[in-house]
Amino acid sequence: MANVLWFQGGACSGNTMSFLNAEEPSVVDLVTDFGINILWHPSLGAEFGEKAQKLFRDCASGALPLDIFVYEGTVMLGPNGSGRYDIFADRPMKDWVTDLVKQAQIVVAIGDCACWGGIPAVAPNPTDSIGLQYLRSDKGGFLGSDWRSKMGLPVINIPGCPAHPDWLTQILVALASGRAGDIALDDLQRPKTFFTSFTQTGCTRVQFFEYKQSPSEFGQGMRTGCLFYEFGCRGPMTHSPCNRILWNRQSSKTRAGMPCLGCTEPEFPFFDLAPGTVFKTQKVSGAVPKDMPAGMDPISYMALAAAARVAAPEWSKEDMFVV
């Protein structure tokens, strides 16, 4: 049995909503089949008022063993370092976090805000929001780079805006069944099993990517064309399994005609959402994408792109999904 406590800081509750939609395994499976004891969760916790506060205090003091502390949302430091923009159970949330992480065997950050600050931390960051162990791509965050849980682990980051629910429930199963040591993390503390391949891995548009074929306008190419060249798709440089572990078991952004926004990377939202940067590929000299597919340099890209366009067969310009 593993005791899990879930707190929510500066967040939209998107990761909670995502979690409740988990399927492989579901939240019910976690409880009935995998030995997860949800002590409290913002949408599932049965206790409220004084009873809930006592439970939180018991976790914070160590009177109630805390195996896994899941944190959703940013830690708000404002105003002026007081944390009073986010009061929860009569205290600044940042003070609860400080006490709870000391008792937790394992700490999991769920969603971009908890991992790296996400949208709340975009300049001018009015709430002085920060992630648990990162601020955007800078290591440190609220806990500091050297922080480790009671089990000796750094914060396990499961990013996304929101994260796919099965990424979290599968990691919770591994943690609750004593396999924490088997979870290899990448250099951003993300489980490698989910964040080594790219969003593009498994994308149904990849043949259009190969031949540099783009839809001519946004929304036109529901089934044809690649969204990298004009519409800002970050699939070739975003680490996520979104086209391997499908959403609702059947689709993904790119399968539905929506560019990947790169939400599993610490720089998300890219270009701080400046006007003209969303759904639009940023280019140098009007021709070369500013952000290259991972591992590619601009010279090789230009040579490859020119050859691919010349070589593109007729079928690569057509709708292949005929019904």
Can you read off the two tokens belonging to residue 17?
């909503």
Minimum gap (Å) between residue 43 Cβ and ligand SF4:
21
Judge contact between 112 and 161, C-beta under 8 A. Answer: yes
Pick the closer one to ligand SF4 by CB: 25 or 160: 160
- Of the candidates 260, 266, 269, 291, which one interacts with ligand SF4 according to CB under 6 A? 260
Residue 235 interacting with ligand SF4 (CB under 6 A): yes
Minimum gap (Å) between residue 204 Cβ and ligand SF4:
7
- Of the candidates 263, 289, 291, 316, which one interacts with ligand SF4 according to CB under 6 A? 263
Pick the closer one to ligand SF4 by CB: 44 or 274: 274
Residue 226 interacting with ligand SF4 (CB under 6 A): yes
- Of the candidates 188, 242, 270, 316, which one interacts with ligand SF4 according to CB under 6 A? 242
What is the spatial distance between Cα 36 and Cα 30, in angstroms, rounded to a whole number?
5
What is the spatial distance between Cα 15 and Cα 8, in angstroms, rounded to a whole number?
10
DSSP 292: P
Dihedral pair phi/psi, residue 133, rounded to 5°: -130, 10
Residue 227 interacting with ligand SF4 (CB under 6 A): yes
CA angle 286, 289, 294 (to 5 degrees): 170
Give, rounded to a whole angstrom, the gap between the first and last alpha carbons of the chain: 49
- Of the candidates 11, 212, 253, 266, which one interacts with ligand SF4 according to CB under 6 A? 253
Dihedral pair phi/psi, residue 56, rounded to 5°: -65, -45
Binding to ligand SF4 (CB under 6 A) within 136-155 occurs at none
Residue 107 pairs in a beta bridge with 69
What is the spatial distance between Cα 162 and Cα 247, in angstroms, rounded to a whole number?
11
What is the spatial distance between Cα 140 and Cα 147, in angstroms, rounded to a whole number?
9
Judge contact between 313 and 211, C-beta under 8 A. Answer: yes
Residue 228 interacting with ligand SF4 (CB under 6 A): yes
Residue 238 interacting with ligand SF4 (CB under 6 A): yes
Pick the closer one to ligand SF4 by CB: 77 or 121: 121
Residue 194 interacting with ligand SF4 (CB under 6 A): no
Residue 18 interacting with ligand SF4 (CB under 6 A): no
Which amino acid is residue 26, in one-letter code?
S
Which amino acid is residue 127, in one-letter code?
T
Neighbours of 123 (CB within 10 A): 7
Residue 91 interacting with ligand SF4 (CB under 6 A): no
Pick the closer one to ligand SF4 by CB: 91 or 253: 253
Pick the closer one to ligand SF4 by CB: 222 or 284: 222
Residue 236 interacting with ligand SF4 (CB under 6 A): yes
State the residues that interact with ligand SF4 by CB under 6 A: 160, 199-200, 203, 205-206, 209, 226-228, 233, 235-236, 238, 240, 242, 252-254, 260-264
